[in-house]
Structure 1
Amino acid sequence: MYISNNNLSGPLPDALSNCQSLIHLRLDRNSINSSIPASVSKMQGLILLNLTKNTLSGMIPRELGLMDGIQELHLAHNNLSGHITESFGNMTSLYRLDLSFNRLDGRVPSQGVFSNVTGFSFEGNSGLCGGVSELHLPLCPPESMEHGLRKRHLLMKVVIPIAAGIIIGSSLILVFFTIRKKPKAQSATTRGFQLADDNYPRVSYAGLVQGTNCFATDNLIGRGRYGSVYKCGLLLKNTMTTVAVKIFDLQQSGSSKSFLAECEALSKICHRNLVSVITCCSSLDSNQNDFKAIVFELMPNGNLDKWLHPDVHASQQLQGLTMVQRLNIAVDVADALDYLHNCEPPVVHCDLKPGNILLDTYLVAHIGDFGLAKILSDPEGEQPINSKSSIGIRGTIGYLAPEYGEGSQVSPSGDVYSFGSVILELFTGMAPTHDMFRDGLTLQKHAENAFPDKLMEIVDPVLPSIEEKSGSSLQNQSNRMEDICNTMFSIIEVALSCCKQAPTERMCTRDAAAGMRKIRDSHVKKNTRLASHS
């Protein structure tokens, strides 16, 4: 249950304890007040509980430390007071505990999650003491003195303001010199966003260097406009995981802005057909230069471009995609665009192409690379595109909507045009940048010239043989070719509707997704029926 960042108020209801099967509960960034009810501990299926940035008060219930399976507990930025319950230290499953910026005091336990300096966060609680030495907390007074010290709490009213004043003053000085050191343009763009909050694991530059074997070429899996992507081994949640890490080339103009745009977009979206972001890293490298990277879920089957043009990628030994696999990919991409264009706020990808469509183990498609994405609620998103900006024209030649080249505003219809181009390439096997497309001839016009009577002349020439080898094709050659031709008719019809010159004449994303799904289901049904009769 994700209901973060709303205007929910009042106390947490005891009825939550009835949710025995709930795994994740995120109530952060609301206005929930009162104390944390002990009944929350009855939610024995809970793995993650996030109550950050509310107005909770009182002590942390001891009962929370009796929850067997909880792994992450986030209680930061509230008004919680009192001691940290010792029972948290006995929880074997808990690996992330964030109690930052409350009013907690007393001794910090030393066992369990409290012995993990990266798993336990406690900043902003000036009354804490003890714990493992790596936490660098002050020593606690002898237990015999603690009672007397609590009676003299007035002293703390003097010490805390002085200490806070010193910390704030030091921080302001540090910020002042940091801003002076950085270029002014960069400070203006980097201060407004941070992806690596409580919900994302923290990774260091050193960890990425180690995981990629010093960014060895053997681990290089792709290059883009603003950087390179490497395969990387990281320890995440106590498990060694192979991920993809995108390293931004900050010497390239526009790369810092691309990093921020991608982080901003990825933090607002989540869909089964979008590449999953794990975390980001914004740090300094070994030479004290700026370093920025984003860590993604690894897509074992690479990008769609390598499957459509294996001759260009000589190192890739790929068997080719069947008609059903291509239709599934088309549906996946359409579904992802439908989600992006209709989520709140809407997101326009701006650079849809086969190189940015990644395939997982089961050839399920995931859209990636949001470096040029635009969130339409962003005031800047309402401005016309400036081809002389640091990012430049939003898109890639061949997939770029024609109105973008003329300075028009970013809109979902631009993605629809790119989708139409991708569909044509997916089923004809020809990239819109092929050498034959010159002197006014484009991939779209090439398809129009063949529609509807000469479709078999433009179908990917390897597709019929792939269908035959797959064992899913019809028994005889004539039936197989007829089926491909009929399916191609419907596919090209949708693609050409998406590629209309005028944005207002193009099919909307939702209709394109529904159209591709209907074509896919009809093709599968027909093949199944005819195969059963053969």
Structure 2
Amino acid sequence: MGRNHFQGIIPPSFESLRGLQYLDLSNNNLTGEVPKFLEVFVYLQFLNLSYNHFEGDVPTNKDFNNTSATFLEGNVQLCGGISEFQLPKCKYKKLNQWKLTFTLKLIVCILSGVFGVILMLSLLVICSLSKKQKESTLSNSGKFLLNVSYQTLLKATDGFSSTNLIGVGGFGSMYRGILDQGHEFKALVYEFMSNGSLDEWLHPATRTNNVPEKPKNLNLLQRLNIVIDVANALDYLCHHCHTPIIHCDLKPSNVLLDDEMIGHVSDFGLARFLFEDTHDCFTNQSSSIVFRGTMGYAPPEYGMGNEMSILGDVYSYGILLLEMFTGKQPTDDMFKDGLNLHDFVKTALLDQVIDSLDPNLLWEREDEMTWMNDIFSQSKSN
């Protein structure tokens, strides 16, 4: 390795080369001290470190006692070693060369004592201030909790009125409310979805809220766009997250619609991370005991204790897709004695496609056909 323009120190990793017999690093730009680990290389027979920029003391063990096998010339800052190397003696500043007078020793002791006292007092002051700040924070936190009391929430939601009910999930109900606060406070804020859930649009008659509302209906294009929105959300969760996520409870009530009727997948209370070592399945000991998901939307294998997987979300998406265009829930009373939504649509595809569609879509069919005929006639004339 001589004449290679190497720079820096000899790497510490060389220490593992205990069986090294011949080492030539001459005519490079190596610096630093001669490594101490070279002293324990018992098999070393030839060592050439000449014409570098090594500095400091030269070891005096057997490997550095043989001038016919060890070469150090050209390193002007080396010192010590055996006399045959003709290197200058090393200069040391030994502590015992300092002759401290009694007065100097006394000054050093006094200064050390004063510094120690100051250090202790500083630590006590810091601890005291930290404790007071913590108590103040806890006190302010307690006052904040008092300001957002149950009565305050009751007033903000108009007595938890059904008109302010946003949705009901497996972990509780969500209400919209306005807090009359005179100061800033920290809160977890979600984007408000003004058009509610997809379930409210597909099945308005099944809502438990008795407040009169404007009739809701989704046309064919809106349903298609929402289906694409949900598909994009699942694609993101599965393929574009740093760690893939399984939603585990995809259904219309967990798809929220914003002002522009864009679908957003929500309610990740049952979601699970899909780590690399689990491949296409999520390993969970409780999955064989507790059913996860919603009946009708969860794949049948979940009911048999199988592990959750991406394919389970795909199955739920398929059921949601069929429900959107048939207007039928997978738990409708008509699905019994082995018949389910999937089989219903599969049979209808043979000769009863129109009968399987959502009646709300059929009501718009005449207008849509007229519109399409107009488009066709216009394009033909052009």
TM-score by length of 2: 0.55
Q: 1:374 to 1:216 in 2, by over 3 A?
A: same
- Judging by fraction of residues, say which structure has more helix: 2
**1:382-426 alpha-carbon deviations (Å, 9 max, x no partner):** 2244364xxx32210000111111111121111100000000000
**Alignment check: 8 A CA contact 2:204 2:216 kept:** no
State the match for 1:20 in structure 2: none
Q: Percent identity?
A: 39
Taking the aligned partners of 1:530 and 1:326, their CA distance within structure 2 comes to 27
Q: Which amino acid in 1 is paired with 2:370?
A: Q
**Alignment check: 8 A CA contact 2:288 2:304 kept:** no
Q: Which amino acid in 2 is paired with 1:346?
A: P
**Alignment check: 8 A CA contact 1:450 1:457 kept:** yes
State the match for 1:305 in structure 2: 199
Superposed counterparts of 1:475-490, under 5 Å: 475=370
State the match for 2:123 in structure 1: 161
**Alignment check: 8 A CA contact 1:357 1:365 kept:** yes
**1:310-355 alpha-carbon deviations (Å, 9 max, x no partner):** 2213644324111100000000000000001111111111111001
**1:150-204 alpha-carbon deviations (Å, 9 max, x no partner):** xx998774345335656899999xxxxxxxxxxxxxxxxxxxxxxxxxxxxx9x8
**Secondary structure of 1:474's aligned partner:** helix
Matched, 1:429 2:327: yes
Superposed counterparts of 1:216-295, under 5 Å: 216-233=161-178, 280=188, 295=189
**1:466-515 alpha-carbon deviations (Å, 9 max, x no partner):** 3545xxx2318xx78xxxxxxxxxxxxxxxxxxxxxxxxxxxxxxxxxxx
Q: Which amino acid in 1 is paired with 2:218?
A: L
Q: 1:370 to 1:217 in 2, by over 3 A?
A: same
**Match of residue 327, structure 1, among 224, 241, 258:** 224
Matched, 1:401 2:302: no
- The structural deviation recorded for 1:215 is 3.4
**Match of residue 341, structure 1, among 232, 238, 249:** 238
**Alignment check: 8 A CA contact 2:251 2:297 kept:** yes
Q: Which amino acid in 2 is paired with 1:309?
A: H
**Match of residue 287, structure 2, among 386, 402, 407:** 386
**Alignment check: 8 A CA contact 2:287 2:307 kept:** no
Taking the aligned partners of 1:346 and 1:393, their CA distance within structure 2 comes to 21
**Secondary structure of 1:336's aligned partner:** helix
Q: 1:221 to 1:435 in 2, by over 3 A?
A: same
Unaligned runs of 5+ in 1: 1-151, 173-201, 240-277, 281-294, 481-526
Q: Which amino acid in 2 is paired with 1:310?
A: P
Unaligned runs of 5+ in 2: 1-113, 135-144
State the match for 1:49 in structure 2: none
Q: Which amino acid in 2 is paired with 1:296?
A: Y
**Alignment check: 8 A CA contact 1:348 1:411 kept:** yes
**Secondary structure of 2:177's aligned partner:** strand
Taking the aligned partners of 2:272 and 2:231, their CA distance within structure 1 comes to 18
Taking the aligned partners of 1:454 and 1:462, their CA distance within structure 2 comes to 17
TM-score by length of 1: 0.41
Taking the aligned partners of 1:205 and 1:169, their CA distance within structure 2 comes to 26
**Secondary structure of 1:223's aligned partner:** strand
**Secondary structure of 2:193's aligned partner:** coil
**Secondary structure of 1:233's aligned partner:** coil
Q: Which amino acid in 2 is paired with 1:219?
A: N
Q: 1:171 to 1:230 in 2, by over 3 A?
A: same
State the match for 1:87 in structure 2: none
**Match of residue 215, structure 1, among 160, 164, 182:** 160
Taking the aligned partners of 2:271 and 2:319, their CA distance within structure 1 comes to 18
**Alignment check: 8 A CA contact 1:304 1:354 kept:** yes
Q: 1:322 to 1:351 in 2, by over 3 A?
A: same
State the match for 2:340 in structure 1: 442
**1:223-247 alpha-carbon deviations (Å, 9 max, x no partner):** 22210010123589x99xxxxxxxx
Q: Which amino acid in 2 is paired with 1:358?
A: L
State the match for 1:44 in structure 2: none
State the match for 1:420 in structure 2: 318
Q: 1:532 to 1:355 in 2, by over 3 A?
A: farther
Q: 1:216 to 1:382 in 2, by over 3 A?
A: same
Taking the aligned partners of 2:125 and 2:154, their CA distance within structure 1 comes to 37
Taking the aligned partners of 2:155 and 2:122, their CA distance within structure 1 comes to 41
**Secondary structure of 1:321's aligned partner:** coil
Taking the aligned partners of 1:402 and 1:154, their CA distance within structure 2 comes to 73
Q: Which amino acid in 1 is paired with 2:324?
A: L
Q: 1:441 to 1:169 in 2, by over 3 A?
A: same
**1:424-466 alpha-carbon deviations (Å, 9 max, x no partner):** 0000000000000001000001111112432111011120213
Greater shift, 446-455 or 399-408, is seen at: 446-455
Q: 1:406 to 1:385 in 2, by over 3 A?
A: farther
